[in-house]
Amino acid sequence: MRWLTAVMLGLLPVSGTLAAQEPADEETLDIYVIDVEGGEATLFVAPSGESMLVDAGWPGFDGRDADRIAAVAADAGIDEIDYLVVTHFHTDHMGGAHQLIARLPVRTFLDHGETVDEGERQLAAFDRYVDLRESADHRVVAPGDTIPLGDIQVTMLSSHGEVLDTPLPGAGAPNYFCDDFDFHGSEITSRYGDAEDQRSLSAHLGFGAFRTVIMGDLTWNKEYPLMCPNNKIGRVDLYLVSHHGSDTSGAEALVRALAPRAAVMNNGPRKGGALHTFASLGRAPTIEDLWQNHYSIPAGSLNAPEQFIANLQDFASADDEDAVHTGPSAWIKISARRDGSFTITNSRNGHSKTYPQN
């Protein structure tokens, strides 16, 4: 993997095409990977202007995450969200929805229905979300369901612990990376409390020849029936790294079979960005570059070169790990074209790279 070799040698990647040489076709699917400090918020905007936001970040912090999502929406030229997909009912994914709708109306909520968490605090947060989704259209989605988003083909891959039964068109080939699949045991399951994670919604998006996936926090073991013994998803151009880059998701059988050309990790300074994930991505020969929302403190020298990282600051400082940053932040933007080419841009420094059609 070229970016990892560059890090180890202290050099910059030299592959790829500069944004100035990007194709003339300006009709794009725009994807914004928004920094919500280790939570999740990713905005998809079709050429028609229709929009789908996957998760809404954290609550609190004076509306920090809602403000950041609103800033990205303004950059994208939209003033409402057609679909808010809540992948699962953890606070870092659904908690910011209340503050969000005060800034951007949401037309339709999509989720997996009911929480399986049993804690008093978790149930109270879920009840607040239920009140919110009842104020608009609401739909429970299942694997294989589609979402109308202009020219974008959106297909659900998983929901509420179930996964796609039938391979997507063109997919279904044997996945030889399943031979060494190592299931996570009860120790990791209990350590991470993944009952909701494994019920995450995940989705496949196609725009012409371009393909990508967004997996929510779908767990390692739940990836197995999607990818083994046959790859039901097929290959993609862009991998939006699962579960903030945590080590309970993103099994090698998934990453290697997807064979993406680039990966974008929505991690925080201390959340996600696990050493295992960096190592797994580093072994994927098809991935030219890893882009990150944050410099990962645990990863150290394994981080991508700085021009590929949107936020370099350690907002939760070494002296005070509970400190939070409540101001603006940078994001990663992907502009994908029908021919399968795409450009990734770091809003912090304007650095961008175009990946030509395959």
Q: Which residues pair with 165 in a beta bridge?
A: none
Does domain 2-8+27-355 fall under CATH 3.40.50.720? My reply is no
Which residue would you say has higher pLDDT here, 15 or 217?
217
Q: Is the pLDDT of residue 239 over 80?
A: yes
Q: Is the pLDDT of residue 50 over 60?
A: yes
- Read off the pLDDT of residues 90-121 as tens digits, 9 standing for 90 and up: 999 999 999 999 999 999 999 999 999 888 88
pLDDT band, very low/low/confident/very high, at 322 (cuts 50, 70, 90): low
User: What's the rounded mean pLDDT across residues 296-312?
Assistant: 93
pLDDT of residue 22: 46
Q: Is the pLDDT of residue 5 over 60?
A: no
pLDDT of residue 260: 98
**Average pLDDT of the chain to the nearest whole number:** 88
Pairing of strands 51-54, 42-45: antiparallel
The reported pTM is 0.91
**Residue 112 and residue 327: Cα distance in Å, rounded?**
32
Peptide bond just before 143 cis, omega within 30 deg: no
pLDDT band, very low/low/confident/very high, at 195 (cuts 50, 70, 90): confident
Which amino acid is located at 154 in the chain?
Answer: V
For a pLDDT cut of 90, what percent of the chain falls above it? 75
CB atoms within 10 A of CB 114: 12
pLDDT of residue 180: 85
Q: Can you spell out the DSSP letters for 229-282?
A: SB-SS---SEEE-GGGG-TTS--HHHHHHH--SEEEE---SSSS--HHHHHHHH
By the 8 A CB rule, do 291 and 277 touch? no
| Ranges of each domain in the chain | 2-8+27-355
User: What's the rounded mean pLDDT across residues 18-37?
Assistant: 75
Q: How far is CA 27 from CA 48, 85, 335, 337, in A?
A: 9, 24, 9, 7
pLDDT of residue 136: 92
pLDDT of residue 210: 98
pLDDT of residue 194: 75
Q: Is the pLDDT of residue 13 over 70?
A: no
Using alpha carbons only, what angle is made at residue 266 by residues 265 and 269, rounded to the nearest 5 degrees? 100
